[in-house]
């Protein structure tokens, strides 16, 4: 009996010794780097500047909407241009202060046509917007002489030219326009206008 108890105590002591040795080795492995490197101080954190990413340029949605609104409002369909037109051998218009020699030279083709807009097949609202944008863009580019084709109305109900009088009224309302005349027969005749723009200031 005593021998059995002594054997159990011996085994328990060996087991405890083994457990302590295993813990010592685990602690030694865990602290290996710290024991090897010795005492260390943490690195000082340098001052950092947090850069915010560059924001994309804003889309000028409101400006685009304003420009569209101005385009629509700047040309009125109710404008009566008949009193401002010169009706002689061929219809023409010139702003106050512009001499008759300007319209005469336009008729003769002394200015080279630089750009043309054909409004055939467009609805009135679409034609008005297209004409306004055409005149504005041409003036920005420094163009002077343009042709606008509105048609003779042969395909319109009653063969009445719907756009012809509207285009004349719209052009008169555009401050970039100095004068216009009915095109020569070889340039469209009664179905087109030759338009002279102001020079860029």
| 42 vs 31: CA distance, rounded Å | 17
Look at residue 157 and tell me whether its pLDDT is greater than 60.
Answer: no
For residue 72, which phi and psi values (nearest 5 degrees)?
-70, -35
| pTM of the full structure | 0.57
Beta strand 177-182 with 192-197 is antiparallel
Grouping H, G, I as helix, E, B as strand and the rest as coil, residue 16 is helix
| 102 vs 197: CA distance, rounded Å | 11
Report the candidate in 196, 198, 162, 157 with the shortest Cα–Cα distance to residue 180.
196
Reading the block at residue 185, the tokens are 């027969």
Q: What is the DSSP letter of 141?
A: T
Tens-digit pLDDT profile for residues 3-57: 777 788 888 888 888 888 888 888 777 777 666 766 767 777 777 777 777 777 7
For the ranges 1-5, 61-65, 80-84, the lowest mean pLDDT is seen at 80-84
């Amino acid at each position: 009996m005593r021998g059995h108890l002594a054997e159990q105590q011996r085994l328990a002591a060996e087991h405890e010794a083994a457990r302590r040795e295993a813990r010592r080795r685990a602690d030694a492995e865990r602290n290996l780097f710290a024991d090897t490197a010795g005492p260390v101080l943490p690195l000082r954190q340098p001052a950092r500047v947090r850069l915010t990413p560059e924001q994309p340029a804003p889309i000028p949605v409101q400006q685009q909407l304003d420009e569209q609104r101005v385009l629509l409002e700047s040309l009125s369909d109710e404008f009566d241009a008949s009193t401002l037109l010169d009706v002689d051998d061929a219809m023409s218009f010139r702003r106050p202060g512009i001499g008759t020699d300007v319209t005469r030279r336009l008729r003769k083709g002394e200015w080279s046509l630089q750009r043309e807009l054909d409004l055939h097949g467009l609805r009135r609202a679409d034609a008005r917007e297209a004409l306004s944008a055409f005149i504005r863009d041409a003036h920005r580019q420094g163009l002077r002489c343009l042709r606008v084709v509105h048609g003779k109305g042969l395909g319109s109900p009653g063969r009445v030219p719907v756009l012809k009088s509207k285009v004349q009224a719209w052009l008169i309302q555009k401050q970039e326009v100095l004068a216009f005349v009915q095109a020569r027969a070889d340039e469209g005749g009664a179905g087109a206008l030759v338009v002279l723009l102001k020079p860029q200031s």
